[in-house]
Structure formats: C-alpha cells, structure tokens
Structure 1
Amino acid sequence: MRLRTPQLTQILFTAPLPVLLLLVYVIPFLGIARWSVTMPTLGLGQYEKLVGDPLVLSVLVRTVRICATVTALSVAAAYAIAYVWVRGTRWQQRVAELCILVPFWISVLTRAFGWLALLSNRGLINTWLQAAGLIDSPLSMVRNEASVVAGMTHVLIPFAVFPLASAMRAVDERVLLAARGLGASRLRIFWSVFLPMTAPGVIGAALIVFVFTLGFFVTPAILGGGRSIMMAELVYLRMFQSPDWGLGAAVSVMLVVVVMGLMAALFRFARPALMGSAR
C-alpha cells in the first residue's frame, strides 16, 4: 500500500523526534540501568541499599519531605497569582504577568545566589536587622531545609501557574452567576463551586511541581550547603566524589521510575479532566 504525500510528510517531520528521544534518553538510561546491576558486581545489591542503607533512606525521606513542602507552597502561591491573572482587573493582570514571566528570564543559578545574598550571615536581611539593633548576632538562615524550600519554591511557582490558569479559564461563568443568584456569598462560591471546578488544575500543577523538585540539584547544593542533600545531589556525590557508580546508577533509575509513574498519573487523571472541562 502506497503512502499518500500528506502521510509521508507527517512521517518525515515526526521521525526525528523519536530518534532523538532514543539517542538522548532511552539508550543512556539503559546504560545507567546496566551499571546499577553490574557495578561493582552482578546482582541487585545496589537496589537493596536503597531500602537498607541508613544514609540513602535519610536522603530519600528528606527529599520527599522537601518536595511535598515545596509542592504545597508553590501550588498555593501559584493559585493566588493565577486567580488574579485570570479574574483580576486589567492592571492586576499586568502585574501578575510580570510576576509570572520575569522569573523565566533569570537563570536558576542566579536566583540561588540571589537567595544566598539575601539570607547569608552577611546578607541583606541580617545586615538590616543588625543595623536596626534588632539582633546582636546573625541569624542562621542558609544551609538548612528552610532556605532550600524558599529557593525551590521561588523557582517553581511560575510553572504551577499555567495549568491552574488553564483550569480557571475553563470555568463556566454561568455556573458562578447561578450560585450568586441563589444567594451564595463570594467566599461560599469560591470554596463550594470555583475551587472544586479547578481541582484538575491543582492536581496537574502539583504533579508537575513535584516532578521538577525530584530532579533539583543547583538550588539545594547552593542553599543547603551540603547539609540538606537531596537525591539528585546524592547521585552526583556517588558518581563524581566517591567510587560508587552502581549506587548512583540505582538511585538514578529509581528517580526515573518515580517520575514516569507521576507523569503517567498526570496524563491519566489531570489531563483528561482538564480537556473535559475545556470542552
């Protein structure tokens, strides 16, 4: 059966994408997976360390804790920004757009050092507080989980805004007007009508942010100062600073599997709901 010209054109245009994914992602991942079961010896010993090594377990617990906290804070802040962006006045929408777009023009590394300049012992906050006589010695605001959470949340809020704004724009105004006509207050309309109708956007934003947080490296490394190591930094340490490539590979495979599961959940639950609300 001969292919028609439009079909042939579609194949030619789409073929480079799967080839690129195969060369850049699939083949390297298979190599990492092979390392995880062959280094230093053949077997699943490295995966046993993931559930039996106290160091790995502590890093895993810390990673989940930080990721959950950052996800909750990012989605909450992004919900407020998206609400103003979609339903605010014209000047409020312009301010919200600046808050969303400007962070994309600044690199993650620059923002991490910005937080370091703000929170370090000789940073702006400690300098101002000491100059005002409110504190005698600098407050310890870096090299801890709080600074890591602040830096990561700052980076990820804009990414959570877009699915939330998409869900808010899909809300039928007639439903809100009907609730208003039945005597419901603005607060009751928000909690009982608007928020449930935008729940798919909340789920999508939360999954997207959580996936991003699992792979964060620069911000935790700079603001954590080696005291709040996350899984991505553990991979770097095992690969480049200690001769334990097998464990680093096993952690990498685990992260990829978790991310794939989260993305499957995103396409299974959040995306159909968003598409349905859009219709």
Structure 2
Amino acid sequence: ILQVLALSLTEPKFGLANYQSLFANAAVGRVVMTTLKVSVMTTVLTVLASYVVAFAIIHMSAGWRRISLFLVLVPFWISVLVRAFSWITILRRRGVLNSALMEMGVISSPLDLVYNLFGVTIGMVHYMMPFAILLLYANLSDIDRRIMQAARSLGARPATIFWRVWLPLSLPGIALATLFVFVFSLGFLVTPALLGAGKTLMIALYISVQISSTSRWDLATSLSTMLLLVVGIIVFAAMRSPALRAAFVARPQQ
C-alpha cells in the first residue's frame, strides 16, 4: 500500500498532479459511475436474495439445514473463472437460457444477456450470495424464537410477525451483509472482465488496463489510492453505526 501511495505521488514527478488530473479525467468519471451503479445493483439484489435463502434455511429441519448450508459452501470450492465461463455458457445468445426460452416460445430472437451490464451483475450477485447468506444466517440464528412465540400468542399474523419482529431484529445482519457486499463489489476484476468483455468497465479492470496495456502507473496508482481511501472511509463510518455494531453482539439463545 505504501509503495502504491509513493508511486502516486512521485510518478512521473513528485506532487499532487496525478490526483488533480484524476478528478479532471472524464473517462475515470464514467468508470467510477459504472462501478457505483453495478455495485449498488449487486448489493441490493444479493442482500434481498440472500435474506430469502437464509430465512428459509433457518426454518428448515436440522437435516435439511445441514444439506442447505453445505450447498451454500459448494461455490467456495469452484474457481471464479469456472463460474464466470459457466454464466457465459448459460447467458450467451445461443446459450442454455436463450435456447430454452426460444423452444418454449417465450421469445422469438435471442436476448443479449451477457457481455453487458446485466451479465456482469448476474455474475457478481452469484459470486457474492454465499457470503451474504452465511452472514445473514448467523444473524438470524441468534434471534430468540420465544419472541415469535409471544407474538403469535398475542394474535399476530405471520406477515405482522415478519415485518414487526423478524425484520427489525435482523437489521444488524442486513447492515453487515450490505457493507460486505458493497465494499467487495467495488474491487471486482475477473467477473466484469469476462462477463462484460470490456464493455462494462469497472475501477479494478480499468486500473489493470492502465498498468498492463498503457503503462500509466501515475493514473493507476492514484486511482488505486483513492479507491482504498474511499473503502476505508466507508468501513470506518459504517462500523460506527449502532446497527452494524449490534451485528457483532450475539443474543443469548435459550
């Protein structure tokens, strides 16, 4: 990190000129906006889908719960490259999904589902879901079930119990999963490179291109430093919030 910071201040000469040109660079602005858009979309979709899965696992029997958690862990043993190429096989114009939809008569011509923003988002959501599921599962497991029993005994309906009891108590887990997924998404490289095919350019990929193709170490190191700074500020600010602090305090289970 210190070496990156030093290069950003000394390449090609000492000073803050690299950072001044960084903020004036229109291409960098577009890359930053794309990164933020994809990261926000990935975070929202991942947390919503993962909450549903974690909530379902919590209510399963012990046997099915172990099987479900094992299936959640399986993606960790699969390379990110394999997962990305698998999505290309599924989403490409003559891939599994388009072929199935055309066979069923749902569409008349193939949809562009990969090598664009949609494909990148799908790949990133798939990559991040196991992390979010485990974080949310840990939080939901700490919620005292007697609270739900008390709510039912008072005549509360299932929907009311969820919105008035389950959801508020699970907010610390949601906050932690949201922070983790968003920060992780800011630095994605392989998935956008393969599923975006260079059309959906995110910060990490842009930095890689500046180093490997154009040797713009000044731009790459200054942008890397700014990314690290932003991530550090986000994490520091989030960790000071009461909702996120509560995620690290386990509730007694009786």
TM-score by length of 1: 0.84
Alignment counterpart, residue 235 of structure 2, candidates 263, 275, 278: 263
TM-score by length of 2: 0.91
Task: Judge conservation of contact 1:117–1:124 (CA < 8 Å) in 2.
Answer: yes
AA aligned to 2:153 is: G
Residue 161 (structure 1) aligned with residue 122 (structure 2): no
Q: Secondary structure at the match of 2:248?
A: helix
Task: Judge conservation of contact 2:210–2:220 (CA < 8 Å) in 1.
Answer: yes
Q: 1:245 to 1:79 in 2, by over 3 A?
A: same
Greater RCO between the two (CA within 8 Å, min separation 6)? Answer: 2
Find the aligned partners of 1:160 and 1:167 in 2 and give their Cα distance: 11
Higher alpha-carbon deviation: 265-274 or 41-50: 265-274
User: Per-residue CA shift, 1:202-224, capped at 9, x if unaligned?
Assistant: 00001111111111100000000
User: Per-residue CA shift, 1:24-77, capped at 9, x if unaligned?
Assistant: xxxxx1111111111123221221233221110011011011001100111111
User: Per-residue CA shift, 1:167-223, capped at 9, x if unaligned?
Assistant: 111111222122112211111010111100010000000111111111110000000
Aligned twin of 1:272: 245
Alignment counterpart, residue 123 of structure 1, candidates 68, 90, 95: 95
Task: Judge conservation of contact 2:7–2:218 (CA < 8 Å) in 1.
Answer: yes
Higher alpha-carbon deviation: 220-229 or 38-47: 38-47
Task: Judge conservation of contact 1:84–1:92 (CA < 8 Å) in 2.
Answer: no
Aligned twin of 1:215: 187
- For structure 1, the 5+ residue unaligned runs are 1-28
Residue 56 (structure 1) aligned with residue 22 (structure 2): no
Find the aligned partners of 1:116 and 1:80 in 2 and give their Cα distance: 26
Find the aligned partners of 1:58 and 1:190 in 2 and give their Cα distance: 40
Aligned twin of 1:74: 46
- For structure 2, the 5+ residue unaligned runs are none
Alignment counterpart, residue 105 of structure 1, candidates 59, 77, 87: 77
Task: Judge conservation of contact 1:211–1:259 (CA < 8 Å) in 2.
Answer: yes
Task: Judge conservation of contact 2:175–2:244 (CA < 8 Å) in 1.
Answer: no
RMSD: 1.9
AA aligned to 2:32 is: L
Find the aligned partners of 1:159 and 1:134 in 2 and give their Cα distance: 34
User: Per-residue CA shift, 1:100-121, capped at 9, x if unaligned?
Assistant: 1111121111000000111112
Residue 247 (structure 1) aligned with residue 188 (structure 2): no
Q: Secondary structure at the match of 2:240?
A: helix
- Percent sequence identity is 38
Q: How does 1:33-44 map to 2 (within 5 A)?
A: 33-44=5-16
Greater share of helix residues, 1 or 2? 1
Find the aligned partners of 2:222 and 2:168 in 1 and give their Cα distance: 39
AA aligned to 2:155 is: G
Give the structure with higher Rg (CA): 1
Per the TM alignment, residue 271 of structure 1 is displaced from its structure 2 partner at its CA by 5.1
Residue 85 (structure 1) aligned with residue 57 (structure 2): yes
Find the aligned partners of 2:132 and 2:73 in 1 and give their Cα distance: 12
